[in-house]
Chains A and B, each alone.
Chain A
Amino acid sequence: SQQGEEDPQALSIQEGENATMNCSYKTSINNLQWYRQNSGRGLVHLILIRSNEREKHSGRLRVTLDTSKKSSSLLITASRAADTASYFCATDEVTGGGNKLTFGTGTQLKVEL
């Protein structure tokens, strides 16, 4: 699998339900970040979790990080139609150089009324 690979690739739920997206990665990381992208638009930063953190909350978002399994999950609670978007995890790797982000393939979330 590739660095920052998400599953599922697509997720369709009803408004009010929770949505869970998973991300796996391969290398050691400084942090992992989740971004949201509406169709054809820019990337909006949602949340950053550092390598020494296990869980983080921001509003309706909950992110977990398991560095032993090299995986992360993003939970959106009480979803709304406006949450419809693609969600990407991105890893900030421990390397020399400029700390690039490596993005996953994304999960397309559709929240239906």
Chain B
Amino acid sequence: EPEVTQTPSHQVTQMGQEVILRCVPISNHLYFYWYRQILGQKVEFLVSFYNNEISEKSEIFDDQFSVERPDGSNFTLKIRSTKLEDSAMYFCASRRTVGKETQYFGPGTRLLVL
């Protein structure tokens, strides 16, 4: 069964460094998402992406964040200058169509900013 994959599974970085989190969505899916979950808290929406552009973003998704689908299979989340409060589990998700379909989540990347 196809699944969403994410790399790396864990990333440790220094405050102020740039990180790129990678995701490979399910191949025939058209809508892509990033969410995050700070330890012990609920999952929060960051951004949705369709047809090579952002369709919606939350207030968390400020200028330090960007997303890209560079090659038709990968979907990346970049944090330009990490802060301590960016430490969280980051989940990528994809879905096939809007409105009626399940979002499938990857296993997550645990980011720790020191």
Q: Which residues of A contact B (CB under 8 A)?
A: 30-31, 33, 35, 40-45, 48, 50, 88, 90, 92, 95-106
The smallest beta-carbon distance between B92 and chain A, in angstroms, is: 10
- Chain A contact surface mostly: strand
| Choice from A31, A45, A92, A103 contacting B43 with Cβ under 8 Å | A103
Measured in the bound complex, the distance between the Cα atoms of B98 and A100 in whole Å is 10
**In the complex, are the beta carbons of A43 and B91 less than 8 A apart?**
yes
Interface string of B93-104 (1 = CB under 8 A from A): 101001111111
**How many interface residues does B have (CB within 8 Å)?**
29
Asked if B75 is at the interface of the complex by the 8 Å CB criterion, the answer is: no
Chain A residue at minimum C-beta to C-beta distance from B103: A101
A-B contacts, 26 of them at CB < 8 A, read: A30-B99, A30-B100, A33-B103, A40-B89, A41-B107, A42-B105, A43-B108, A44-B105, A45-B103, A48-B101, A50-B100, A88-B42, A88-B43, A96-B56, A97-B48, A97-B56, A98-B33, A98-B48, A98-B49, A98-B56, A98-B98, A99-B31, A99-B48, A100-B56, A101-B35, A103-B43
CB nearest to A30 among chain B residues: B99
B positions within 8 Å CB-CB of A: 31, 33, 35, 42-45, 48-50, 55-56, 58, 89, 91, 93, 95, 98-108, 110
Chain B at the A interface: SS class: strand
Partner of A42, one of B56, B58, B98, B108: B108
In the complex, what residues of A have CB within 8 A of residue B56's CB? 95-98, 100
Q: Measured between alpha carbons, how far is A95 from B58 in the docked complex, in Å?
A: 13
Output the least CB separation between A97 and chain B (Å).
3
